[in-house]
Structure 1
Amino acid sequence: MRAVERLHSIQFKLTGTFLLLLLPLVFVSVFANDYSQRIMDGQISDRTRGALMTTVEYVEQLTKNMDQQTLLIGSNPNVVNVWNGFDDPLSPDHLYELHTVQQQLSALTNVNGAIKEAFILHGNSENGLSTMNGGIKWPGVNKEAWFKRTIDASGGLVVYVPTASNPAGSGYLDKDNIYFARLLDVLSRNREPNVLVLSVDKSSFRQIIQHLQTSDNMNISLYYNDEFVLETNTPRKQTASGAGPKDLSIEAGNGVWSIQLQQPRVELFKLSLQLQQFTYWIILVSVVLAVWAAWLVYAAIAKPLRQLSGAFKQFSGGNLSVRVAHRRKDEFGYVMNGFNRMAEAQRQMIEDDYEKELRLAKSEFSLLQSQINPHFLYNTLDSIYSVALKHKVGEISEMVINLARFFRVSLGKGRETFTLEETMQHLMYYIRVQQLRSEHFTVDIRLDERTKPIALLKLLLQPIVENAIVHGLERNVQGGELWIRSILEASMLRIEVEDTGKGIAPDKLADIRRELDLITSKSYRLSAASPSSTYFGLKNVKSRVKLYYGEQADVTIESLYGEGTKVTLVIPLAEEELP
């Protein structure tokens, strides 16, 4: 409830209005920062990708150079003839030819500084010749994967990069080198499994891509057929996708060789981030100023209205002595003075009207009781007279005693209410009088134990019981039964008076209900001031319960012609009256 009141408060509306005025500024600032960031991101990505593509071309050019060198040596007859047609080229009979081949390979490595080592392997004998180690023996070389790939390439260049997922499988190949292999005698159709291999240090490739690195936090990685080759820097903590969540990652390649650049965005957009943070600080300060300005406006304008609103709530809640204390000389002071004068006049008027209403209610209540008592007295005296004529015996004395007791309790020494248990005892005096007059009906009283101590206005049940006996049971020659029950339902007391008499005709029952429906807590004065001669008892009972217990109190009647009638008295109970 308090949350809803705050949403409708003037302070909330003023603050919301000021913040809404800031929305365009916030939107434009955020959009401008984001737009400039995206433009810079795109430009940097395009330029970096162009530089990466240029570097990839350099790497590709180095690969083509290796291709030409291997092709040139692999088609040289002076080299090819030494390895073809021999079971073991390293035998002493071929030392001179081997020396010539080694000179040519050494000349190649001396001319091309990128080539670290060159060697030729004889597949059948698993022997070879190296520029670094001379004659070498390589057991099982023809079973290694890279060697088989070279044979299967049928004279094409094979680039082999030992990686974690593609290990060398040999103690001779080094993971720090990249190997370019080709079959010898590429021009012949009947090729023997002799392979020329050029070893290039990865540092040569690193030098090509190193110029792209502009900061220590940048990392550039080189890949061959999506397999990692080398990188220029130790990578920082990365996500499963490769790049860190705040890194700029750009890739470029030609399908065989590819380069990936990773750099923290903080470095790239350092200046723009400073401008962005400055913008956010301006937005934050603007929001604080807006809230502060809204509070000042609220304190100057809305606070007096809140004082008046609180005073109105207290006054409407029944606090007639509430006043607004202030020292204001402005328009709000004039309104507050007007409220104080209005409250004082209203209090005086309500007190006067309440006293008049109280006096009127008491007089009407006394009138209702005075209307019931004579009516009951006349009926009772008539009953005594009837019995006297009929029996001429001592029953008359018992009737008079019960009648005297009934009137003694009715006077009640000024009491207006009795407990339900006392009311039943009182009512039995009257019922006994009626039983002496007419002995052909019985009485069954069943009270809920919880209802017995509940206070009940006196003389409420007597008119209802009188109607049940006089208009119901006495007209039934065969006799009948009278039932009185009390039930406690939630916060309601229900008292039912039911008889097995003649019942009420449908048209008359509808007329009774229509007359009773006209009686409410607002209209009881009319029925009391101008009582109708018809249905006098029921109408007076309903008028009294409406007057005393309020609008929720009610009197209902149900009847089946020829079977009986049930009248129900419904009385609301206050919380302190509940058992």
Structure 2
Amino acid sequence: MGVVRKFRLLWAECRRTIILYLLIVLLPAGVLLHYYFQRSEDIFERQVTESILNSIRQVKINLDYRLSKVDEISDALILNTDLYDPLAGDPLAGTHYSQVQEEAKLGNLVRSLQGNDIRKIKLYVNPDKMYAREHVNFFSLDEAKEEPWYGQVMRSNGGVYWIPTRTVSYLGSPGSVRIVSSARIIRDPGNYARIVGILELDVPEANLSAILAQAEYQESNRTMYVVDGDGFIISQTQEDLIGTRLLQPDMFNTVRDQASGIRRMTIGDEAYYMIFDTLDENGWKVVSLLPVRLINRTNADFNVGFSIVLSLSLMLLVILGAFLVFANVNRSMIARLRHITEQLKERGAVVIEEGLPRRRGVVIQLEKSVTHMLSTLQQLLEDNYRTKEKEKEAQMRVLQAQINPHFLYNALDTINWMALTKGAKDISRMLQMLAQYFRLSLSKGKDIVTLEEEMNLAKAYLEIQKQRFHSFEYEMVYPDSLAGRLLPKLIVQPIIENAILHGIQNEDGHQGCIRLEVFEQGGGFVIRVADNGTGMSEDKVRELFASFSSLPTSTSSYGLYNVWERLRLYSGGAGCLNVTSMPGEGTTVSLTFPDGPPPPHRVQ
């Protein structure tokens, strides 16, 4: 009972981990097993088809040997003067007795060559020969003309033509027999254009099918054939298939001109391997049309047994290994979990029962405590986030507010100077521009404005400064497509102020030009302020950026720091401020605003 109880406790505590472990191990094992089966099928199919191709090549060698023996006998007869001299003689020149002797001589010659390889030798001779209708070994040439193979034999022009399988009955022999035949014409040696006969050698088809039967892949499934050049079956162990097409012409034509090979094809709804080689003697093909299922059935029988043994062994090893591992680490793990649970309780992470499983156990208690701790932590993070955002908003407002008093002082100083030195019209114009500027800068209390509003504000500022200094020209360019983009208010003014005071006013002659342009970049946009003033060295630029690590004390860099800090806060650190300068050539300041809208809390 103690073992069973320990097993139950172990299962209760670790069942999820064990199930996960089994899945992690068994799933890859299943995938590997599937991959093994697929690869084994491919390898087995390749091995079987190559083995059958070797068998077909051996069949081809045996058939070529048998047929070559027939061709050798045919050649021997054609070259034998005892054959063609009597056939070439005039049948009307001699006596009847001389023709009887001629028949006996020719009959003895051809019958001596008949046997197992050659069932019958036939001579088609001049119809005027007395023995032309003997119909055992001698036949009339007129009868040959009525045979379907006559045209092919004549077109062979003395070469051997192999006649496909047909069924014949021999005079004096019971029943019928299937034969293939070698036929060729016999010419008169004295007059080569004159045909004096046709020689036909009949070979039993059974001789061919016996060779095929010895090389079959499975005795119960006869898949080997001999076919002619048009795909008709010449020989097969199933006699009812002889004379029929092995394949449709369009399928057979794909291999007609190939000497040897292995080709996979689909006939009907079933996959087959066509494995073939070509006979040297007559161009017929030895073909094995093997269903793929026959190969896979043999492989499947092995795979089923192998997979069962492998799967059971793997499962036993995995289960045994899992329990050994978890049993080994269970005691120390439980102790550590108890310690963690107690620490959580001591630190105030009270267990919340609501919504959690009402089960006992150290792991369950730890799960409940950690859930409560995470909930509390999430609440604290949210509170901290809101506090930080409010702090950033306040900081942005303070930084922005620091701009206005400084500019107001300069503007009022200019108005005072103009009142003392010029007439009331100029003062009136200056006051109008100043009023416009303050109206735009207030922006109904908004901290975030559109690009169009910021550009109008910059233009008003440039007009006021131009009236003050009369020492620069300016140019503003921005596309209408960007007019609605949002950005912090008064972020461009400090850059323009630096360009006037530290760029153009420091130049000899106090003359210059300021160009303000905005363009789209990577879904975001860039504001660029360029002047042709005195410029700065690379060391000065590096020193300027180094001062941003703390609040600058110099009034010359405070405005740029203000811009950088507001851009960083507004874009969450994604924005970029870049300064390029060259002594005597001017300074360019670029503000890069990234793609996407600003955080929702920044728009008021």
- Whether TM-score is above 0.5 comes out as yes
Residue 278 (str. 1) matches residue 282 (str. 2):
no
Q: Would the aligned equivalents of 1:418 and 1:455 in 2 still touch at CA under 8 Å? A: yes
**What's the offset of the Cα at 1:25?**
8.0
Partner of 2:403: 372
CA distance in 1, matches of 2:432, 2:364: 73
Whichever of the two has the greater Rg, that structure is: 1
Partner of 1:514: 543
Residue 386 (structure 2) aligned to one of 355, 367, 371: 355
**What's the offset of the Cα at 1:535?**
1.8
**What's the offset of the Cα at 1:350?**
1.4
For 1:489, give the aligned amino acid.
E
**What's the offset of the Cα at 1:110?**
11
Residue 495 (str. 1) matches residue 517 (str. 2):
no
**What's the offset of the Cα at 1:378?**
3.2
CA distance in 1, matches of 2:583, 2:403: 27
Question: CA 1:109–1:332 in structure 2 vs 1: closer, same or farther (change >3 Å)?
Answer: same
Q: Would the aligned equivalents of 1:221 and 1:260 in 2 still touch at CA under 8 Å? A: yes
Partner of 1:570: 592
**What's the offset of the Cα at 1:468?**
3.3
Question: Which residues of structure 2 form unaligned runs of 5+?
Answer: 1-19, 145-149, 151-157, 165-178, 188-193, 214-218, 264-271, 321-353, 600-604
CA distance in 1, matches of 2:424, 2:277: 126
Question: CA 1:13–1:118 in structure 2 vs 1: closer, same or farther (change >3 Å)?
Answer: closer
Q: Would the aligned equivalents of 1:222 and 1:229 in 2 still touch at CA under 8 Å? A: yes
Question: CA 1:328–1:489 in structure 2 vs 1: closer, same or farther (change >3 Å)?
Answer: farther
Partner of 2:564: 542
CA distance in 2, matches of 1:453, 1:250: 79
CA distance in 2, matches of 1:446, 1:32: 72
Give the match's secondary structure for 1:347: helix
Q: Would the aligned equivalents of 1:118 and 1:131 in 2 still touch at CA under 8 Å? A: no
Q: Would the aligned equivalents of 1:493 and 1:570 in 2 still touch at CA under 8 Å? A: yes
CA distance in 2, matches of 1:458, 1:413: 12
Partner of 2:496: 465
Partner of 1:415: 446
Q: Would the aligned equivalents of 2:504 and 2:512 in 1 still touch at CA under 8 Å? A: yes
CA distance in 2, matches of 1:31, 1:429: 81
For 2:134, give the aligned amino acid.
M
Note the alpha carbon deviations across 1:432-470, whole angstroms, 9 max, x for none.
Answer: 544444445445444433344444432323333333333
Residue 18 (str. 1) matches residue 29 (str. 2):
yes
Once the two structures are overlaid, the 10-residue window that deviates more, 375-384 or 541-550, is: 375-384
CA distance in 2, matches of 1:31, 1:441: 83
Partner of 1:168: none
| TM-score (ref. length: structure 1) | 0.56
CA distance in 2, matches of 1:373, 1:418: 16
Once the two structures are overlaid, the 10-residue window that deviates more, 18-27 or 348-357, is: 18-27
Question: CA 1:99–1:326 in structure 2 vs 1: closer, same or farther (change >3 Å)?
Answer: same
Partner of 1:486: 517
**What's the offset of the Cα at 1:348?**
1.9
Residue 134 (structure 2) aligned to one of 132, 135, 158: 132
Give the match's secondary structure for 1:352: helix
Question: CA 1:504–1:335 in structure 2 vs 1: closer, same or farther (change >3 Å)?
Answer: farther
Residue 534 (structure 2) aligned to one of 495, 501, 504: 504
Question: Which residues of structure 1 form unaligned runs of 5+?
Answer: 1-8, 147-157, 165-174, 184-192, 298-322
Question: CA 1:407–1:292 in structure 2 vs 1: closer, same or farther (change >3 Å)?
Answer: farther
Q: Would the aligned equivalents of 2:527 and 2:590 in 1 still touch at CA under 8 Å? A: yes
CA distance in 2, matches of 1:446, 1:336: 61
**What's the offset of the Cα at 1:418?**
3.6
CA distance in 2, matches of 1:542, 1:88: 130
Question: CA 1:416–1:569 in structure 2 vs 1: closer, same or farther (change >3 Å)?
Answer: same
Question: CA 1:390–1:471 in structure 2 vs 1: closer, same or farther (change >3 Å)?
Answer: farther
Give the match's secondary structure for 1:488: strand
**What's the offset of the Cα at 1:365?**
1.9
Q: Would the aligned equivalents of 1:420 and 1:451 in 2 still touch at CA under 8 Å? A: yes
Give the match's secondary structure for 2:490: coil
Give the match's secondary structure for 1:376: helix
Q: Would the aligned equivalents of 2:133 and 2:140 in 1 still touch at CA under 8 Å? A: no
Q: Would the aligned equivalents of 2:528 and 2:590 in 1 still touch at CA under 8 Å? A: yes
Question: CA 1:84–1:450 in structure 2 vs 1: closer, same or farther (change >3 Å)?
Answer: closer
| TM-score (ref. length: structure 2) | 0.54
Q: Would the aligned equivalents of 1:117 and 1:131 in 2 still touch at CA under 8 Å? A: no
Q: Would the aligned equivalents of 2:517 and 2:529 in 1 still touch at CA under 8 Å? A: no
Note the alpha carbon deviations across 1:27-64, whole angstroms, 9 max, x for none.
Answer: 998799789969997998899899x69x959x88x969
Note the alpha carbon deviations across 1:310-336, whole angstroms, 9 max, x for none.
Answer: xxxxxxxxxxxxx99767867875675
Q: Would the aligned equivalents of 2:124 and 2:139 in 1 still touch at CA under 8 Å? A: no
CA distance in 2, matches of 1:563, 1:127: 124
Give the match's secondary structure for 1:506: coil
Q: Would the aligned equivalents of 2:114 and 2:121 in 1 still touch at CA under 8 Å? A: no
Question: CA 1:481–1:445 in structure 2 vs 1: closer, same or farther (change >3 Å)?
Answer: farther
CA distance in 1, matches of 2:393, 2:88: 139
Question: CA 1:450–1:284 in structure 2 vs 1: closer, same or farther (change >3 Å)?
Answer: same
Say how many residue pairs are matched. 480
**What's the offset of the Cα at 1:422?**
3.7
CA distance in 2, matches of 1:413, 1:206: 109
CA distance in 2, matches of 1:258, 1:482: 95
Q: Would the aligned equivalents of 1:128 and 1:137 in 2 still touch at CA under 8 Å? A: no
Partner of 1:301: none
RMSD over aligned Cα atoms:
6.8
Identity, % of aligned pairs? 19
Q: Would the aligned equivalents of 1:118 and 1:198 in 2 still touch at CA under 8 Å? A: yes
Question: CA 1:107–1:512 in structure 2 vs 1: closer, same or farther (change >3 Å)?
Answer: closer
Give the match's secondary structure for 1:379: helix
Partner of 1:314: none
For 1:279, give the aligned amino acid.
F
